[in-house]
Structure 1
Amino acid sequence: MITEQFDYPALYETAGKMSTDSQRLFLWLVRGEYALLFMAAVLSMNFYATSHYFIIPAVILIASLVILIFRSLQKPEQDWYRGRALAESIKTSCWKYCMRSEPFGDNDSVATRHAEFRTYLTEILRANRLIGDRLPADNAAEEQITTSMEAVRALPLEERKKYYDKNRVRNQRTWYAKKASGNKKSSRNWMIASIAFYGIAIVLSLVRITDPGFAYWPVEPVIVVASSILGWVQIKKFNELASSYTLTAHEIGIIQGRIADISSEDEFSKFVLDAEQAFSREHTQWVARQQHT
């Protein structure tokens, strides 16, 4: 059994890095907008009744608008989705290659199968040519067909079955199950926080009735926080992901039970195709998001 670390093609690492960096940029821009809106709401509470004072919240709102315009022009969320879609396409192709599944069958010619895999990567890259100029160059000089990929592909059928079961099927099932649980928990926690802040805003609004002359009731800042939480929940899509990941985890569990009955290369090739189709649920989700952004 192969014990060394499994290395994916350089293009996978590059696409993954682009997706991660774009996701981080997008989420920090959103956080920045929310933070500036909150600051503007706080500073609009008439702490100082001078014209110079109100220049501050105006400047903050302008800064928030600049971030919004920058985010709209750069569209980092699209690079996030496209990078993830590209990475997942390469990852599933890599496992098909290592398991000798279609379209990378049991070809004894190293040169031929290398050419087939490189051609496949080229086609994937061409299909994602819109992000070619945004891919980081960090891993561009690394191997596209790694030593560990060839080592796994060289394993006999039974050992490949065990390797695929442990390092791909079980790994993916665990990943989807944890992500489903995490998103469900996050959805519940953020919704509770939103309800709490809306409740605080309602209470403050009612209490303000008793003393309308007091200028420092923080109703508006609390409403901004509550609204920001709802916006964050919509951006992160906790409920949608929890449902999708749960279904995928169960589907993988059903598929996993078939591997013990496989006794031929053809059966294993069909099994890998079915399994990778299930794993690509996340990939197709990224593609769907890309089409709607």
Structure 2
Amino acid sequence: MTSNSTSSKPDFWYWVRAALANRPVNDGPPHGDDLPPVYRVNDYWAMARQGESWRAQRAHLVLLLLATVTAVLAGQLGSRVQAVLAAVLYGLTLVVGARAARRRADPDGHLHRVAAETVKSMAWLYMVHGGPFHSRVADPEALFTERLEGAFRQLRTMGWQDPLSTGPLPDSDQITPTMRTLRAKPLQARRDAYLRDRLQEQTEWYRRVSAKAQTAARLWSAATITATLLALLTTALQAAGLIGGWCVAGLLSTAVAAAVAWQEARRFRPTAATYALVEQDLETARIAMATTVTEENWAGAVAETERLMSPPYTDLLMRGGPWHASAPS
């Protein structure tokens, strides 16, 4: 799953120092450093493991393509050196694939992303009196700890490794001073902060990622179609006896297969369509919460809006949603 974090990629020890720091209370908008320490660590590991997974997939496909090209050249030129090189490249392809399977970077990254976004969503619910953390709850901090541990128990059954127990970060208070400060403010201040620093930020993020994915989908589709047409042309020319015996069509077919595999791995089209739908839903929710939502139904409206940004919801749309019918052209 793609991350909806707006932070950059600092090194790991930055996050450890940020988590351990005694940060003063401020009245600015909550950012990554103001959210629970467990969010920051999981956000880092989600980006790191996701990047590792993509690099492994890219290396696997590139090695396979290079091995095929080298093998074709070895067959055409009768070169033993190139044949040995092709064998080495195929061997490296197997090694990279086996290592990626053993490392489990993709599923681990997904679980860390789910953990990070769950914590982030729960933190916002707590700060603005949303969902179960409404204004009438007796002990919101105890409820936050209880709900957080419940979410973590479920993630552990799926193989998630808790960084608070396995990493260098000690168990600490997950409710930051900034979170307490915002929760103590009146409804209008909390509403403004949520609409500006949560909804507007996430709406722009979904819009930006959807546009990038749509552009990437068009470019890769154009490259795939072009390579397929070239393979068709070379095959027709070979059949007519107009070009020699070089297996250009085979090389182009391998390139097409690699391009299709990369598109399937990155899921450009479903990402573009799914995130465009979420962006529209968030914009609708933002307008409603700014105009018609009252204090009585504020908690429910926030909870529903957070559901729209949750990884399970976007995963559901990505896997079985209407993207195939509404994918951008």
Using the size of structure 1 for normalisation, the TM-score is 0.87
Q: Residue 92 of structure 1 aligns with which residue? A: 121
Deviation of the 1:166 alpha carbon: 0.5
Q: Residue 3 of structure 1 aligns with which residue? A: 28
CA deviation vs aligned residue, 1:98-155 (integer Å, no higher than 9, x gap)? 011232232687xx43222122221111111122167873655665111211111111
Match of 1:181 among 202, 211, 215: 211
Query: Structure 1: which 5+ residue stretches go unaligned?
Result: none
Match of 1:243 among 269, 273, 285: 273
Deviation of the 1:65 alpha carbon: 0.9
- After superposition, the Cα gap between the structure-2 partners of 1:142 and 1:194, relative to the gap in structure 1 and judged at 3 Å, is farther
- After superposition, the Cα gap between the structure-2 partners of 1:65 and 1:289, relative to the gap in structure 1 and judged at 3 Å, is farther
Q: Do the aligned residues in 1 keep the contact of 2:30 with 2:197 (CA within 8 Å)?
A: no
- After superposition, the Cα gap between the structure-2 partners of 1:261 and 1:134, relative to the gap in structure 1 and judged at 3 Å, is closer
> What is the CA–CA distance in structure 2 between the aligned matches of 1:244 and 1:148, rounded to whole Å?
32
- After superposition, the Cα gap between the structure-2 partners of 1:134 and 1:195, relative to the gap in structure 1 and judged at 3 Å, is farther
Q: Residue 177 of structure 2 aligns with which residue? A: 147
Secondary structure of the residue that 1:128 maps to in structure 2?
helix
- After superposition, the Cα gap between the structure-2 partners of 1:187 and 1:50, relative to the gap in structure 1 and judged at 3 Å, is closer
Secondary structure of the residue that 2:259 maps to in structure 1?
helix
Q: Residue 95 of structure 2 aligns with which residue? A: 66
The one-letter code sitting in structure 2 at the alignment partner of 1:82 is L
Q: How does 1:14-93 map to 2 (within 5 A)?
A: 14-44=41-71, 45-46=73-74, 48-93=77-122
Secondary structure of the residue that 1:155 maps to in structure 2?
coil
Match of 1:207 among 216, 237, 241: 237
Secondary structure of the residue that 1:103 maps to in structure 2?
helix
Q: Do the aligned residues in 2 keep the contact of 1:88 with 1:283 (CA within 8 Å)?
A: no
Q: Do the aligned residues in 2 keep the contact of 1:177 with 1:249 (CA within 8 Å)?
A: yes
Q: Residue 17 of structure 2 aligns with which residue? A: none
Q: Residue 302 of structure 2 aligns with which residue? A: 272
Q: Do the aligned residues in 1 keep the contact of 2:307 with 2:313 (CA within 8 Å)?
A: no
Deviation of the 1:80 alpha carbon: 1.9
- After superposition, the Cα gap between the structure-2 partners of 1:287 and 1:134, relative to the gap in structure 1 and judged at 3 Å, is farther
Match of 2:149 among 96, 112, 122: 122
Using the size of structure 2 for normalisation, the TM-score is 0.78
- After superposition, the Cα gap between the structure-2 partners of 1:84 and 1:2, relative to the gap in structure 1 and judged at 3 Å, is same
Query: Structure 2: which 5+ residue stretches go unaligned?
Result: 1-25, 320-329
Which is worse superposed, 100-109 or 186-195?
100-109
Number of matched pairs = 285
Query: Taking CA–CA contacts closer than 8 Å with sequence separation of 6 or more, which of the two structures ends up with the larger relative contact order?
Result: 1
The one-letter code sitting in structure 2 at the alignment partner of 1:117 is F
> What is the CA–CA distance in structure 2 between the aligned matches of 1:27 and 1:138, rounded to whole Å?
26
